Each structure stands twice: as structure tokens, then as C-alpha cells.
Amino acid sequence: MAQTTPPDLTQAATPTAPGSGTATEQPVLFQVTKRDGRVVEFEPARIQRAVEAAFRAEYCDKSNTPLTDDQFGAIQRIAASVIEAASSQDQSGAVLEVEGVQDLVEENLMRGGEFSVAKRFIVYREERSRARRLRMESQQNTSSLQVTTASGSAEPVNTHLVKRRIYEACHGLPQCKPNELLQDLYANMYNGISTAELEKAMVMIARQRIEREPAYNKVATRLVLNIADREALGEVPARADRDALVRERFEDALKAGVGHELLDPELLNYDLVKLAAALKPERDETFTYLGAQTVYDRYLLHIEGRRIETPQFFFMRVAMGLAIQENKAEREDWAIRFYGLLSTFRFVSATPTLFNSGTMHPQLSSCYLTTVDDDLHHIFKAIGDNAALSKWAGGLGNDWTRVRATGAHIKGTNGTSQGVIPFLKIVSDTAVAVNQGGKRKGAICSYLESWHLDIEEFLELRKNTGDDRRRTHDMHTANWIPDLFMKRVAENGMWTLFSPNEVPELHDLYGTAFEEKYTEYENKARAGELRQHRTVEAVSLWRKMLSMVFETGHPWMTFKDPSNLRSPQDHAGVVHNSNLCTETLLNTSNNETAVCNLGSVNLRMHTTPEGLDKELVEDTVATAVRMLDNVIDINYYPTDEAKNANTRHRPVGMGIMGFQDSLYKQKLAYTSDAALEFADRSMEAVSYFAINASSDLAAERGQYSTFKGSLWSKGVLPIDSLELMAEERGEYFVVDRTQTLDWDSLRNKVV
């Protein structure tokens, strides 16, 4: 690449023109005074380098062509003239200064007829001069600035400390320019700036450069970690001292957490020396800026705003919380294994687990699913339960299908119902009023089956127009769609809407049984035996569903029949809804609030350019399943219904993350057939190893209480339940059912 600007003549240089290099072959023995007053030997090579750079800036940058022989000849002649003139001045007794030498360059460029090149050189000199003035002004201003400490006292800015932090943050990153960061920082400082604001300013000046140079991501990350270190360790140690200090202060952090009633005192009964020795502080370097900032903002425990954890303290604390009920002779070993998965990002527990593990209220489960009864007392109990569950960071899914439709008769008052919508407005407002422990927004999704008479108004809940009293801007919504509706759409048929108080069986039926009962109610409606019903074109309703998804992103499309036909717990109840992420399918009732206990395998950490490392996946999944199973026994349950469901059925959910990164490692396009094949094979592996690990746990701890009668007990694994779907859907079911692992032996093992 052509050099675009001439270098400073005070910088070392060598001649670059091919050929004779006549201007600089013989040393010229005299001295030049630099701008800071230092006297150094005059080096002719710098003159030729400066002249050549000016020529390149003028002739090469625009056309992207090399210099010609004639131009190189001109460079050598002009450089020789400058050196001769400088030598003459020296011999006359004049004091040679850098600025005077640069004046000679300008003069000889113009004498040689290179006016456009001379202009380039003049502009460059002015830009450098302006930059020097700004730097000097900022340094002069900074020297008189004071910072406000946490105690409120004012102190002079410790420029040495600031410089050390910036330079250490840039360590090993030659693309990053610490001096430029310092200049930006000084330009943005003001008198009385707090130490906390100064630290944030350091992060911001690095962050704003990430788009231009990705290496600044690491600089910003290190500066965020410095803030965590200062708060948790009491100082920002030098890089060489950090590992030892992190291990030394680990016990202090736990004692502080216990002393302020944040952490379970049982954590202090671990072998803390052994756990501290197992910490890997260098793993903080694996964070990106966004990850480090998020962990600092949301996950590290704090006392009145001061973090008491570094990221590695945090991972070990979570691991200790998850191992707290393990056999005491082994729990340090299990905690270290759990820590190994978390701190290397091979497996990431769900946010509530990361928030609350090891604390006085270890609510570790991710989401809670409830069914709301058609009863005023139960409706407001469900809303109250939402508040209690949300307080401890649980996401919520509510099934509202049983609540009667607008205009339905109320026997007790002899009045008419206002339907589901007004209650959903209260649910939405509850999500705002009771957020997730003050750490993130409340998250609720309400579900309604597609035959409910209020479905059309339900579709519009997230619109920004209309009566705002019938809008839910802070709540998610989802359609719970039976297969029969999709068949009617495909066949261009009609669809009948009902009020659930007149068709109570439909809520708990699915598959063929639902279709038969639904058709029976349609016949009753046509015969005038039902008080409320309305018939619409299935395609028209479907189009409205799609248009609302395009307009508002809601309601989501979720499907009732496959959720139930493939449910391993079909003998224990009906799946009426999912959660706000739609990955959890568990049965609910008035007595059971379904609970999902989640975590994700990071495929990126298990993929090489050659593909999936199945042995590593097996090792990760075996440990992760134990972590998830432990959640069920450790968990703090905000409601009795949640504890009842979770301890009876012991559901865990293992997902994946890092899928796109895995494709990138293999150089696979996201939409390619190879990517689809990788998705199939990787999920098959996660499923296989998770079921195998669960079976091993059953051998160690005993089977869960409702195992008998489940699909598991019949040897029907999730990969097999596709056949149940095929039987129900017939021609409407086309799915690749290829299997590549030894599922037969696993079926036998599970049974």
C-alpha cells in the first residue's frame, strides 16, 4: 500500500528509492534541534523519506499506481538540494531546527516545480502542528484537573495511573494506539469528574473505536474488568500480579456476601483454599466487551452498588450454589467441574441460575407456566402468582383459554362478562410493576387457543392504535393453534369460535379427540344449542394472524397438537401453553405450575473446522444434566403449585447456543444443506447424551415419581414420538426421521 502522508523528519528513516540513492549515500555530519530542545544528529535519510512520502501522497493514492523513474529522479534531486542547503546553513553558523529543515523541504519542492506535492507537504505540516497544540493543551489542562473520589474528597488526577491502565489494556495489541486513547480521554475530562465516571470514560473511548478496529474490543473488555477488579479486589493489580490477588481475595468476597445476607452461609463451609486454587483468572480474557459489560451490570453481586465479585468469583459462586447439596466429601470436586463448564463457556446456565445460585433465595428456575381458571378468585390468584414468580427472575407463560368470552353470561350476578382482554391489561401492567428482581424487565406471555371468541381482539393486543385500555404493550402474546385449524386453512374451510364456558372439553383435548368434539360443538351451534358462537373463514383469520405478526411481532404461532402428542408426560396432564420463549412444553393445572430448569450447550466450544467434537459434547452434557437436576432440589419456589409440579416431574431443558459460530468455524453458509445437516446431527447428539446422562442419574438417585406410565417408561423417546405425529397428521406430516446414533441400546437403558 502506498504511504499516504510524509513522516515527521525527526523520526528515523532510510532511503526507499530504488537505484543510486545519491542524496543519502554519504553521511552529513551536523546536528539539528528538535522541538523539545534536544539536539540530535542530522540524518539525511529522513529528508528523502519525507520527500518520497509527499510524492506518493500526491501521485499514488488517487491512481493506485507506483512512482515512475522520472518521479524517483525528482525525489533524489530535491532531497539532495535540501541536504545541501541545510549543510550550507550549518557551515554559516546558523542553528538548524526541525521547523527550518521542513521549510527547506517546502522551498525546494516549489523550486523543482512540484507545487501540488509542496501543497500536500504544507497541509500535512499544519495537521501535525494542530495535533501537537491540542495534545499540549489537553496535557496542560489535565495537570490542573481534580477528580472526586468515592468518599467525596477532591484529588489531582493521577495521570501516571491513568496512563498505566490504558497502556496495560493495549498490551499485546499492536493495532491499538494508547497515546491516541489518552488524548481522547484528556479531551473529554472535566474538573471534578468522579473516579467512577473517569473509569467509564476510559471504556467509552475504547468502545467507540471498535467498529474501525476490532482489536479495541479487547481493550474495552480489559477496562471493564479493571472496574470490577477495583471494586471486588480493592485495587487494579498489575497484570503480572492479578492471578495471585484474585485467588487471595476469593474468601473475602464470600465472607462479605454472607455478612450482608446476600449469600448462603453454607458456602463458607466449603474447602475455600481448594476452590481458590482452582480459579482461572486468565479466563476473563475470553470475554468480549459486550459480555464483560453485561456480566458487570447484571450478574456480579454488589453491596450498595460496589461489586464484590470478579467474573471468576461469580462463576465459582454459581458452581458452589449448584453443588451445595452434593455429598460433602465430593462437593468441592463437583463445584470445580461445574465451574469448569461455566468459566469456559462450554455450558451456560439460565439467567435466574446465574443471578441467584448460592444466594439466600436460590430461585434458579427459568420459567413458570400456569393455567388460569374461569373464576374471579383464581384469576387474581394467578396474577398474584405472576408477581411472586417474576420477583425472583422467573419468566412467565399464562394460559387464558378457560376464561369465558366477552358477552358470556355470569350466573352469580346475572350479568355479562367483559371477556379476557381487561384481565390481560392487568397482567401486562403487573410485568412492569414487578420486574425481575430489579435486574431486568418482567417477562410474561399470555396464550389463547384459536377457537376462543375473543381471539380476534386478542390478535390486536400489541397494536399501537386503538383503545389503549385494551392494549398490552409490555406483555407478549401467543396463539395456541390446534391442527384442525391449519387443516381448515389448507382446505379453505370455515372456522367456528366459541366461548369456553359452553365448550369446556375443548381445552383439554387434542388430536383426533379434539377434532371429533370440536365438530360436535359446531353441529350444536348450527342447531342453535349454543348461546355464543361465530363462524369465520379460516383463511381470513389466518391472514389476520399473519398480518399482526408482521405488524407487531405478535401473537406468536405455537401449536397445541404436536406439543401434546409428543409430550413424554401425556399420562400426567395436558400441555396448555408454553413460556415466553416457547421452548418449554409441560403440563399445567390448578394444582401444578409447570417449571422449566434450563441451560445451553455452547456449540461453538464443541466444534472444530472438521465438525462436532462428540466426545466433548458427551462430557459437557453429562455434567450439565447433573447441574440442571440439582436445580430442582435446591430451588426456592415462590408458590406451592410450582414446587409440587417440579418435584413430581423433575423436568430439565437443555438447549444450544453458538450455532452460527459453529457454522463459521466450518465455513458453512447458514442456508446450505450442510448447515441443515449439522443442525440435525448436533441436536441429535445433545439429545442422546442428555437422555443417557439422565438415565445414569436415575440409577444413582432413583427414578422421578411420575416416571411410570410416561413415554419414557414405554421406551418411546422424543426422537420416536415423531411417529405419533405421523399417525395423527397423515399426509400433512413430512419430516426427516434419520437416526445416526445407537438409539436402541439407549431405549433399553432408559426403560
Active-site positions read 579, 581, 583
Start-to-end CA span in the chain (Å): 68
Sign of CA dihedral 103, 105, 109, 112: positive
Q: State the Cα–Cα distance between residues 376 and 391, nearest whole angstrom.
A: 23
Q: Where are any strands of DSSP class E within 110-221?
A: 146-148, 154-156, 193-194
Question: DSSP per residue over 445-477, as a string?
Answer: EEEEETTBTTHHHHHTTT-SSS-GGG--TTSEE
At residue 481, φ and ψ (nearest 5 deg) are -100, 125
Report the phi/psi class of residue 152: left, alpha or beta, with left for phi > 0 and alpha for psi in -120 to 50.
left
* Contact by Cβ (8 Å): 146, 191: yes
286, exposed or middle or buried, with CB in 10 Å at 0-12, 13-18, 19+?
A: middle
Question: DSSP per residue over 287-330, as a string?
Answer: --HHHHHHIIIIIS-EETTEE---HHHHHHHHHHHHTTTS-TTT
Q: Which 3 state secondary structure label does DSSP give 410?
A: strand
Nearest to 44 by CA among 32, 28, 55, 21: 28
- DSSP lists the bridge partners of residue 194 as 148
CA 563 to chain centre: 28
* Contact by Cβ (8 Å): 278, 339: yes
Q: State the Cα–Cα distance between residues 551 and 549, nearest whole angstrom.
A: 5
Q: State the Cα–Cα distance between residues 532 and 321, nearest whole angstrom.
A: 53
At residue 731, φ and ψ (nearest 5 deg) are -65, -15
Nearest to 373 by CA among 572, 473, 508, 478: 508
